Amino acid sequence: MDSSSLSSIESLVHEIKKDLFSNQDNFNTFLTKTSGYDIAWTLAMIPFNNQEKEDNGPMFDSCLNWILNNQNEQGFWGESNGENLIPTIYSLPITIACMVALKKWNVGERHIIKGLKFIHANMYTLLKENSQCFPCWFTIVFPSTLQLAKAQGIEIIIVDGSNKLLSDVIMKKKALLESEKLNDNIVNEEDGSLFQSPSSTAQAFMSSGNKKCLEYLMSIVQKCPNGVPSRFPVDEELKMLCMVDNIQRMGLAKHFEKEIEQILEQVYNNYQINNLKNNNEYLLSSSEEKISDDLPEKLLKDSLAFRLLRLHGYKINQGCFCWFLQQPQIRDKIEKNKEHFTYVMYNVYRATDLMFNGESQIEEARFFARNFLVNNNDNLSLFPALQKVIEHELNVPWFARLEHLDHRLWIELNQSIPLSIGKSSFYWLAYLQNEKLMQLAVQNYEYRQSIYRKELEDLKRWSKEKGLVDIGFGREKTTYSYFASAASSSSFLPYESFLRLIVAKCSIVITVADDFYDEEASLSELHILSEAIQRWDAKNLDGPSKIIFEALDDLVCDVAKMYHLQHKIDITPQLRHMWKETFDSWMMESLWSRTSNLPSRDKYLQVGMISIGAHILVLHAASLGCSILPNQMFGPINGQYENITKLLMTTTRLLNDIQSYQKEREVGKMNYTLLHFNENPSGQIEDSVDFVKVILGDKKKEFLENVLMDGFNDMPRTMKLLHLSCLNVFHMFFNSCNLFDTKSAILEDIMRAIYIPLGQNEQTQIMPLQEKKIKKKIEIVKVNACVNHVKNMKQQVGIGISFVERQNPKNYNSFGWSTKEFASYNLRLCFM
């Protein structure tokens, strides 16, 4: 790998740690987003000593200088959508306010002329585009800025089309003010602010001369010398939580593990002491007439705290953020103020991803937040980036996401995502646009891509050398397997990690062997291979059977050798045993599919949770990525698997069986969904799918608690995260359909994860992966037969079977098979 890239990343990490964590002043400056509106309409217009005299200058020179230095090339101040700098409707009042401030002090005539050109060229278009849903803040402010401009002698020409639209704005403002029952401004006795808003406080000071207001304004300019934010002060813990959330979502958490843990420890301690008391007091003080203005801020903070603390293993109660459900007036306030609560509800919904069994309040909060977001999403046309992440959140379950691709989405969109859409400058935090952090995120992502490309080529070479690519049947999934391994573990595995390759190799062997048992081989061939696996001896093997065994043996030897180098312990018996029972399970399923002997659901699940192979993936990787593992973690050779592993095995099997039942019914295989369907002849297949989904939902909640919380097992955290990443992969492949069996459905994701640099989303033509077929060396005459078990199936069809030899199936003991040969079945010839 390129050492200069790694050196640059390490240097940036050092600089950001210094900027963010060295002292509180740096932290505040780094995390405060400048508000052009608050600077322009208020602070820049306050005269020295607050007295209107011709020789008086502005009290806050730095604010006036900010306006002079921050006009956009197109002539506007304020927000734009994305890198193309497309102005939003909020740019209209902000630009007018900045022009008024310049006019007041007789400076910046060129800026004013440029700003007027922008207003005249864009006012009608921006008003027309948003006429169906004018934002509330814009509705209140825009008419006032026009009046202020007129009073300062700035002539803004309102064209005929704009007149009608402006009248609509004014009418909406009147209705909004009446519905809100706004009271007279009241200055906060604690900090001298009006609603902690610099613009409102500045206006109050110019009207009243209140000294507390002036002290508040001066403290802002002193603490934020590079620009005034739209809200001040910002809750310190909220700033830290937003910073941690952003760092994690950019894929940078591994670089700041110590700092993140210190912040979360501090937040957790404060919540332990104060949160329940504060929530109760908040609910008691809230009424229909008076709900605190900091409601969005508090709910955002509590939602972020719950999600981040739970993700990091802290025991945090659901009441931490579900308290808002207890007060109908608060729910009503949220539903009536969608602009102020969209980003908040987005984070409430994200928090509900981490739900354990029995947490009914979180279930209710999820339902409430989802309805809010679905009903409001059409109104987010002004904010396409926020709209996109909300749609992603609603459409793709958290369990079904691969974190590497989520990091990419967040990096590409985060410069445009506001924390609130209720005010023009929003309540942004500056790290969303911080150059160093963005530079680090891009370099980190693309450096990982370079590693992934090299590892994928190494894996392709291994798969080719072992004969798995050209084996002549089934699914060739080398690239799929590596993509899933790499993209699901980027946040907790280091840059250089052979664990990704171990998981991918296991996946390739499992896929090829499973296809061999399902589709390709005769019973006699399967018996020969299964016996060889039990002996762990390749004698008498040839063709595909020999290729599979030798690739498997090579893989097991490599893992055992690496583990022995680390810990001086030989785990070869444990690894072989896992594979032996997995091959046994494939043999058992193969017999089921070729006979009319349908298993019970319990027996099927006992076998199916082994045959899915999830435990193989995580335990082989975990053996190398963690400290010395207790023997019981390797499974039945030393007792039972750990509960977390059994839950993973069960959930992955059920995920597969929900999406693959149609294909498996067509080829005569059984799965859990079909077995339930057969046991309930009066129902529909959809009822059986729903039945399995309920079981799956409960199992996933139990599994998640085992992953995130201590006390359920002694597994190292990395091993538990490997379990979670494995479920993420299966959920991704089987979320809405069976993507694993497709040839091109996820190739675009593969390209974005491994090949396409950030910011370059143009796609070249992607050709489907080819599944190679070759002729077998030995010609074998096959007889088509079908088992007559119509009574056991809902549809009056037989299952097509392909037998190679006329012999009764042999047996193996792992799943309690009889030591005697199976009785012959009455077969009838069929031509299908």
Mean pLDDT of 169-186: 66
**Residue 213 class from Cβ within 10 Å (0-12 exposed, 13-18 middle, 19+ buried)?**
buried
Of 18-22, 44-48, 708-712, the poorest mean pLDDT is in 44-48
- Is residue 119's pLDDT more than 50? yes
Q: Which residue has the higher pLDDT, 663 or 344?
A: 344
- pLDDT greater than 90 at residue 70: no
> DSSP alpha helices (H): ranges in 466-522?
478-487, 499-515
The 10s digit of each residue's pLDDT in 542-601 is 999 999 999 999 999 999 999 999 889 999 999 999 999 999 999 999 999 888 788 999
| Tens-digit pLDDT profile for residues 345-377 | 999 999 999 999 999 999 999 999 999 999 987
Predicted confidence (pLDDT) at residue 338 exceeds the cutoff of 90:
no
pLDDT value of residue 524: 92
CB atoms within 10 A of CB 550: 15
Percent of the chain residues topping a pLDDT of 90: 47
Say whether pLDDT at 184 is over 80.
no
Separation of alpha carbons 183 and 533, rounded Å: 80
Q: Is the pTM higher than 0.85?
A: no
Res. 761: pLDDT tops 90: no
Segment 621-664, tens digit of pLDDT: 988 876 666 665 665 555 578 999 999 999 999 999 998 888 88
pLDDT tens for residues 246-300?
A: 999 999 999 999 999 999 999 999 988 876 666 666 666 665 455 667 788 899 9
CA distance linking residue 255 with residue 443, whole number of Å: 13
Asked whether residue 458 carries a pLDDT value surpassing 60, the answer given is yes
Look at residue 525 in the predicted model and tell me its pLDDT.
94
pLDDT value of position 23: 63
Helix (H, G, I), strand (E, B) or coil at 409: helix
Predicted pLDDT of residue 800: 33
What is the DSSP annotation of 542-573? Answer: -HHHHHHHHHHHHHHHHHHHHHHHHHS---HH
789-828 pLDDT, tens digit each: 333 333 333 333 333 333 344 444 444 443 333 333 333 3
Structure confidence at residue 605 (pLDDT) = 96
Q: What is the pLDDT of residue 218?
A: 78
* Average pLDDT of span 338-348: 90
Residue 185 has pLDDT above 50, yes or no: no
- Domains of the chain (ranges; CATH) run 26-223 (1.50.10.160), 236-438 (1.50.10.130), 466-753 (1.10.600.10)
Residue 180, number of CB atoms within 10 A of its CB: 12
Q: Taking 50 as the threshold, does the pLDDT of residue 210 lie above it?
A: yes
Mean pLDDT value of segment 197-212: 69
Kindly indicate the confidence band of residue 397, based on its pLDDT and cuts at 50, 70 and 90.
very high
Q: What pLDDT score was predicted for residue 765?
A: 46
Compute and round to an integer the Cα radius of gyration of the chain. 32
Tell me, what's the pLDDT at 613? 96
At residue 804, the pLDDT reads: 34
pLDDT, position 520: 81
User: What is the layout of strands, in order, in the sheet containing 827-829?
Assistant: 799-803, 783-787, 827-829
Return the pLDDT at 430: 45
The amino acid at 791? K
Residue 658 CA to residue 653 CA, distance in Å, equals: 9
> Which pLDDT does position 420 carry in this prediction?
52
More confident: 457 or 475: 457
Q: How far apart are CA 35 and CA 124, in angstroms?
A: 24
Phi-psi region of 639 (alpha: psi -120 to 50; beta: other; left: phi over 0): left
pLDDT of 779 above 50: no
CA distance 11 to 397: 36
Helix, strand or coil, per DSSP, at residue 267: helix
pLDDT, position 536: 97
Residue 182 has pLDDT above 50, yes or no: no
**pLDDT at site 339:** 79
Share of the chain above pLDDT 70, in %: 76
Which residues, at least 6 apart from 631, have a Cβ–Cβ distance to it below 8 Å?
574, 637, 638, 639
